[in-house]
Amino acid sequence: MSTFQAPKGTYDLIPPHSATYLAVREAIAAPLKNSGYGYIETPGFENVELFARGVGESTDIVTKEMYAFETKGGDRLALRPEGTASVLRAALEANLHKAGNLPVKLWYSGSYYRYERPQKGRYRHFSQVGAEAIGAEDPALDAELIILADQSYRALGLRDFRILLNSLGDKECRPVYRAALQDFLRGLDLDEDTRRRVDINPLRVLDDKREAVQKQLAGAPLLRDYLCEACKAYHEQVRELLTAAGVAFEDDEKLVRGLDYYTRTTFEFVHDGLGSQSAVGGGGRYDGLSEMIGGPALPSVGWALGVDRTVLALEAEGITLDIPAATAVYAVPLGEEARRVLFRAVTELRRAGVATDFAFGGKGLKNAMKSANRSGARLALVAGERDLAEGVVQLKDLTSGEQTAVALDAVVDEVRRALS
């Protein structure tokens, strides 16, 4: 009988590679924790209607990519394809917006699911860290989130990424642009699916990556020419704040992103070392989403950064993160009495905050020392009958090979001194 394999388009994170993913998540989260964002966790599945209404019924995510199913009780659920709608639903359900301190600032980390054609950088299960600031309309908030994402990427050592920035207007000016864009698009040679999209959400056509479509879009009307004065002023403030903070960006008037809920500020982080899957993250303002899912008017802004794509970006730039070894000390007992004594020492070291492992399975000295070296530990604690009779254990430096006898009751102090 053949062994089971991970479902197509998914992956397992296993040591030591998984340590890089953890370090990336922590690096993205660090500036958020330092800026008033609290952690939130939501279920891996939600009611289908939440995403149909929030993300948009005409989007590829809802029409083609969402894993939807019916439960035994008859509920229509979907594995979450993105994080914003879930986080906003949870915030509304918990009445966080009524606590009197707006914006409600939240960050999250987790797995998301889309039925995609699997390729490098595009999986059916992927990992993101996201941030949402709910309940305030302020260009400084949009700028803050972009600056924090930039900060986290730079902390990881990334340099070859670009920030694309655009404004999608609001409910006052976007309908005028929408009508002008529809008039233009209806004159093009488009397939039936794309023509349907022109009627439902014409801005999504601008996001079409096919060369045959992009060529025809050369003379398309630009949203920036249709922005109302309020949206122009808002966008200019975001740009000024980013520039003052020393964060470089590029204006991209065709940037619309793949979700229907965006208004005004929209942005994307791209890395040119990743080929066709160049977007490593992005987000924007979504002032009408709360009302779409049954809540009050709560202007909000947020982003999600792909952990998988960020790891690929690090590889593209040849960056290896400085990740400390999982084990600092490895204990090697020789004989039953030494097993008992060293196991107690291991427990004490762990309680003292020293990453320590143990030669399980009754290995001989040679095999146990091989395991110690493979573990990445700097020190080995070795003890046999003669050592115990003298009330000592041997502390061995695995790099230099130097070995010293240490009194049993001084193990924790001596190990800490050696590691420092």
The pLDDT score that the predictor gives to residue 217 is 86
Last residue of a domain, one of 316, 337, 368: 316
Q: Which two tokens stand for residue 317?
A: 């730039």
Give the integer Cα–Cα distance in Å for 385 and 391: 10
Task: Evaluate whether residue 66 is within a structural domain.
Answer: yes
Say which CATH number the domain at 97 has: 3.30.930.10
On whether both 71 and 153 belong to a single domain, the answer is: yes
3-state per-residue secondary structure call for 182-202? HHHHCCCCCCHHHHHHHHHCC
The pLDDT score that the predictor gives to residue 260 is 63
On whether both 233 and 344 belong to a single domain, the answer is: no
The CA–CA distances, whole Å, from 386 to 42, 337, 391 equal 56, 11, 9
Task: Evaluate whether residue 390 is within a structural domain.
Answer: yes
On whether both 261 and 410 belong to a single domain, the answer is: no
Task: Evaluate whether residue 193 is within a structural domain.
Answer: no
On whether both 127 and 251 belong to a single domain, the answer is: yes
DSSP states of 279-329 = EEEEEEE-TTHHHHTT-----EEEEEEEHHHHHHHHHHTT-------S-SE
Count of structural domains, the chain: 2
Task: Evaluate whether residue 56 is within a structural domain.
Answer: yes
Helical ranges in 34-83 per DSSP H: 48-54, 60
Last residue of a domain, one of 316, 346, 372: 316
Give the integer Cα–Cα distance in Å for 188 and 206: 13
Last residue of a domain, one of 262, 283, 316: 316
On whether both 125 and 33 belong to a single domain, the answer is: yes
Location of structure tokens 């066709």: 276
Task: Evaluate whether residue 215 is within a structural domain.
Answer: no
On whether both 302 and 346 belong to a single domain, the answer is: no
On whether both 163 and 57 belong to a single domain, the answer is: yes
On whether both 127 and 246 belong to a single domain, the answer is: yes
Task: Evaluate whether residue 220 is within a structural domain.
Answer: no
Domain that holds residue 415: 329-419
Tens of each residue's pLDDT in the chain, 420 residues: 678 999 998 999 998 899 999 999 999 999 999 999 999 999 999 999 898 887 776 566 777 788 999 999 999 999 999 999 999 999 999 999 998 889 999 999 999 999 878 777 788 899 999 999 999 999 999 999 999 999 999 999 999 999 999 999 988 888 888 889 889 988 888 888 888 888 877 887 887 778 888 888 888 888 888 999 999 999 999 999 999 999 999 999 888 765 667 889 999 999 988 877 789 999 999 998 999 899 999 999 999 999 999 999 999 999 999 998 889 999 999 999 999 999 999 999 999 999 999 999 988 899 999 999 999 999 999 999 999 999 999 999 999 999 999 999 999 999 999 998
Q: Is-contact 285 237, C-beta < 8 A?
A: no
Q: Which two tokens stand for residue 3?
A: 């062994």
In the chain, how long is the greatest CA-to-CA distance? 93
Give the integer Cα–Cα distance in Å for 3 and 302: 42
Say which CATH number the domain at 350 has: 3.40.50.800
On whether both 125 and 242 belong to a single domain, the answer is: yes
pTM for the full predicted model? 0.89
Task: Evaluate whether residue 9 is within a structural domain.
Answer: no
Cα dihedral sign for 23, 25, 31, 34?
Answer: negative
Give the integer Cα–Cα distance in Å for 396 and 400: 9
On whether both 360 and 287 belong to a single domain, the answer is: no
On whether both 374 and 404 belong to a single domain, the answer is: yes
Give the integer Cα–Cα distance in Å for 4 and 140: 50
Give the helix/strand (H/E) hosting 411.
helix 411-419
Beta strands in 83-207 (DSSP E): 104-113, 125-134, 161-167
On whether both 291 and 366 belong to a single domain, the answer is: no
Task: Evaluate whether residue 307 is within a structural domain.
Answer: yes
Q: Which residues 6+ apart lie within 8 Å of 20 measured at CB?
A: 311, 314, 321, 323
